[in-house]
Amino acid sequence: MTSDPDQRIRELTEQLNHWSYRYYILDDPAVPDAEYDRAFRELQELEAQYPDKARSDSPTRRVGEAPLTEFDTVRHEVPMLSLGNAREDDEVIAFDRRVREALGVEKVDYVAEPKFDGSAVSLLYQNGDLVRAATRGDGGTGEDITANARTIRNIPLVLNDDDPPAVLEVRGEVVMPHRGFEGLNERRRQRGEAPFANPRNAAAGSLRQLDSRITAERPLQFMGYSLARLEGQSWPETHDATLDLLTGWDFIISPERSHCIGVEELLAVYRDILARRDQLDYDIDGVVYKVDRLDWQRELGFRSREPRWALAHKFPAREELTVLRDVEFQVGRTGAITPVARLDPVDVAGVTVSNATLHNMDEIERLDVRIGDTVTLYRAGDVIPKVVGVVAERRPENARRIQMPSNCPACGSEIYRPEGEVIARCTGGLVCPAQQKEAIKHFASRRAMDIDGLGEKIVDALVDHDLVRNVADLYHLKVDNLVQLERLADKSANNLVQALEQSKNTTLARFLYALGIREVGESTARALEAHFGRLEAVMNADEDSLQQVPDVGPVVAGQIRHFFDQAHNVEVVQALRDAGITWREFEPEATQQELPLAGQSWVLTGTLEQLTRDRAKQALEELGARVTGSVSSKTACVVAGEAAGSKLDKARDLGVEVMDEQGLLELFESHGLKPE
């Protein structure tokens, strides 16, 4: 390391850009995210101290800038043409015939590449520096989105070239890969924001943000596909060579491109890519065929803004219209109630769809969808199809509004949706057949009742053979019942019965945790134990008295109250006590010793290397922290392991403290904890 800021800035910029290249271009991360973040912060601080030393390819320039009031317009020096398109093989054969006749040749070499379904963008580099990015617009003029393009991690800010061309203009498509798209929509739904209907809209919408800091948070990628201008060095001779040239400058181009001789090979590539379409992580809406030789491209020229040397062969659409006939509500393994649309069957890109998710009631209200409506369906890859829109003009007079049932369709327990939460859940956790396996597994788990030998497979077998319906039934199992299960030998059956017997001696906190009440984790269970001392006191407490417990707010209190309001649940609790489950009861202590992290909410994200997430969580809870799954402005600290993702981003956005694994270990050590 050096103390010369200029040199250190250069080192850090190069190091970070290399790591970023490994991550975004090679898809082969070189260091844990926390390491990247440390270097990034150091660079940020140095640049703040010495602004004139900041480099033009600094990764700090990718986080976005202050918002614009509007976009400037940009004239495309070389117009951005459109593509002629075809749906049928015949049209492709006719295209090839026209090309051959115009050129007077027998066979033509083509390049076939996927047609990305995103938003077309043109990037201008001068002497190797990215100086401008523009949308396609009408092909003649577009909008200046330079600030936004800079935030897209795989767009080179500076070309990887010691002797870069004086002018380079690269064109391509900005796309949002499926995984990022699903994650973005999930976050938007959780925040009560409207999700994007499809990745294309999400990419286009993200690119047209006046505030590039928003674009910076969107998982966008640029896929290069053509060269519009090149000055200061000679042009390649073919499209294939053009793509290689782009790769050399670190642009990402499609890995799916192929060189084809003659039209038969084009059609074979089309069929191959179509067959693999659902496995790709990004949406493609067809295959583009291009004459490979650039001199032949020039000779063929274009007609009404469409090149005669290229053709888009379209795939079946991913969006189709159909009619919503009914909505059913399903209960998931954890009690979440999901509205499922029953539809008139319709073929969406090769798959017949008759069910789709409507996600939750918020989504239904936002779409204002009613039974009888004509709706737009979107089906991507292997993801469950979704209803993404309604054709208002086609609403029949007898269209019916959709209502959330008040009781669980599987067990009849009350459905509860805490205020401000998106997801409604069944409150019959202990009795609901949809949740029984999960409930039993949780009940038996090590930190709950700790029933040794009652693993996932045995739980599945017990439920499938109807030996156990709820957790109280466990305590009536006999060795005779157990040996009937294929998997279980005499000895294991004996051991399990013994483990069940042993588990009866427990603590109130473990018992409360084992019941699987929503929002009641181990630390809340311990707090309830300390506060109330006796089970009956917890069961009878109203929401106000529950909120007297440290860390129990209205949401947790509501969940506890709703749980014990279900007669079914109370019956199971009674049956458990009748089966002989006991613990030491005590009168609650008036004062509790303050733990160092009492009242704090912590979040673990990414992969930890030296301890399991469970151990880290347990140790944090021992220090009094509550460990939760989502980051908010109230979060005290986010522990970011390797490959931490959106939670880390969010923590940064909210200015929440971030700690790496080492920091966490040091914290534990300073409090005399040594989790393995």
List interacting residues with ligand D41 (CB under 6 A).
81-83, 113, 115-116, 120, 136, 173, 225-226, 288, 290, 307, 310
Q: Any residues with CB less than 8 A from the CB of 9 and at least 6 apart, and which?
A: 43, 46, 47, 50, 53, 54, 55, 58
Q: Which is nearer to ligand D41, 116 or 511 (CB)?
A: 116
- Which residue, among 600, 604, 612, has the nearest Cα to 639 in the 3D structure? 604
Taking the C-alpha atoms of residue 606 and residue 631, their distance in angstroms, rounded to an integer, is 13
Q: Which is nearer to ligand D41, 113 or 363 (CB)?
A: 113
Taking the C-alpha atoms of residue 51 and residue 38, their distance in angstroms, rounded to an integer, is 19
Please state the closest distance from residue 115 (CB atom) to ligand D41, in A. Answer: 4
Please state the closest distance from residue 284 (CB atom) to ligand D41, in A. Answer: 7
Q: Which is nearer to ligand D41, 184 or 287 (CB)?
A: 287
Please state the closest distance from residue 7 (CB atom) to ligand D41, in A. Answer: 42
Amino acid present at 12: L
Q: Which is nearer to ligand D41, 170 or 515 (CB)?
A: 170
Q: Any residues with CB less than 8 A from the CB of 531 and at least 6 apart, and which?
A: 548, 549, 550, 588
Question: Residue 522 in contact with residue 513, Cβ under 8 Å?
Answer: yes
Taking the C-alpha atoms of residue 548 and residue 259, their distance in angstroms, rounded to an integer, is 71
Instruction: Say if strands 109-116 and 258-261 run parallel, antiparallel, or are unpaired.
Output: antiparallel
Q: Which of 53, 107, 115, 437 is catalytic?
A: 115
Q: Which is nearer to ligand D41, 148 or 600 (CB)?
A: 148
Taking the C-alpha atoms of residue 150 and residue 63, their distance in angstroms, rounded to an integer, is 8
Q: Which is nearer to ligand D41, 80 or 449 (CB)?
A: 80
Instruction: Say if strands 119-126 and 129-135 run parallel, antiparallel, or are unpaired.
Output: antiparallel
- Which residue, among 560, 508, 505, 502, has the nearest Cα to 531 in the 3D structure? 508
Please state the closest distance from residue 307 (CB atom) to ligand D41, in A. Answer: 5
Count the helices and strands in the chain (H runs, E runs). 24, 24
What residue has token string 């990004």?
Answer: 282
Please state the closest distance from residue 249 (CB atom) to ligand D41, in A. Answer: 18
Local structure of 15: helix, strand or coil: helix
Please state the closest distance from residue 225 (CB atom) to ligand D41, in A. Answer: 4
Q: Which is nearer to ligand D41, 110 or 511 (CB)?
A: 110
Q: Any residues with CB less than 8 A from the CB of 614 and at least 6 apart, and which?
A: 447
To which H or E segment does residue 74 belong? strand 73-75
For the record, the structure tokens of 437 come out as: 């396996």
- Residue 518: left if φ>0, alpha if ψ -120 to 50, beta else—which one? beta
To which H or E segment does residue 247 belong? helix 239-248
Please state the closest distance from residue 288 (CB atom) to ligand D41, in A. Answer: 4
Q: Active-site residue 115, yes or no?
A: yes
Please state the closest distance from residue 120 (CB atom) to ligand D41, in A. Answer: 4
Please state the closest distance from residue 159 (CB atom) to ligand D41, in A. Answer: 20
Amino acid present at 274: L
Tally the residues of the chain.
676
Q: Which is nearer to ligand D41, 225 or 511 (CB)?
A: 225
Please state the closest distance from residue 121 (CB atom) to ligand D41, in A. Answer: 9
Taking the C-alpha atoms of residue 357 and residue 369, their distance in angstroms, rounded to an integer, is 13
Amino acid present at 318: R
Question: 336 forms bridges with which residues in the sheet?
Answer: 425
Taking the C-alpha atoms of residue 504 and residue 511, their distance in angstroms, rounded to an integer, is 10
Q: Which is nearer to ligand D41, 236 or 453 (CB)?
A: 236
Q: Which is nearer to ligand D41, 156 or 224 (CB)?
A: 224
Q: How far is residue 479 CA from its own chain's centroid?
A: 45
Q: How far is residue 527 CA from its own chain's centroid?
A: 33
Q: Which is nearer to ligand D41, 298 or 491 (CB)?
A: 298
- Which residue, among 244, 233, 222, has the nearest Cα to 111 in the 3D structure? 244
Local structure of 379: helix, strand or coil: coil
What residue has token string 């050399």?
Answer: 248
What residue has token string 């509501």?
Answer: 558
Taking the C-alpha atoms of residue 296 and residue 104, their distance in angstroms, rounded to an integer, is 11
Taking the C-alpha atoms of residue 623 and residue 413, their distance in angstroms, rounded to an integer, is 36
Question: Residue 515 in contact with residue 435, Cβ under 8 Å?
Answer: no
Please state the closest distance from residue 82 (CB atom) to ligand D41, in A. Answer: 5
Q: Which is nearer to ligand D41, 235 or 583 (CB)?
A: 235
Q: Which is nearer to ligand D41, 254 or 524 (CB)?
A: 254
Kindly write down the DSSP assignment for every residue of 173-213, as one continuous string: EEE--HHHHHHHHHHHHHTTPPPPSSHHHHHHHHHT-SSHH
Taking the C-alpha atoms of residue 359 and residue 387, their distance in angstroms, rounded to an integer, is 9
Please state the closest distance from residue 155 (CB atom) to ligand D41, in A. Answer: 16
- Taking CA atoms, 419 is separated from 91, 198, 423, 554, in Å, by 57, 29, 10, 9
Residues tagged active-site: 115
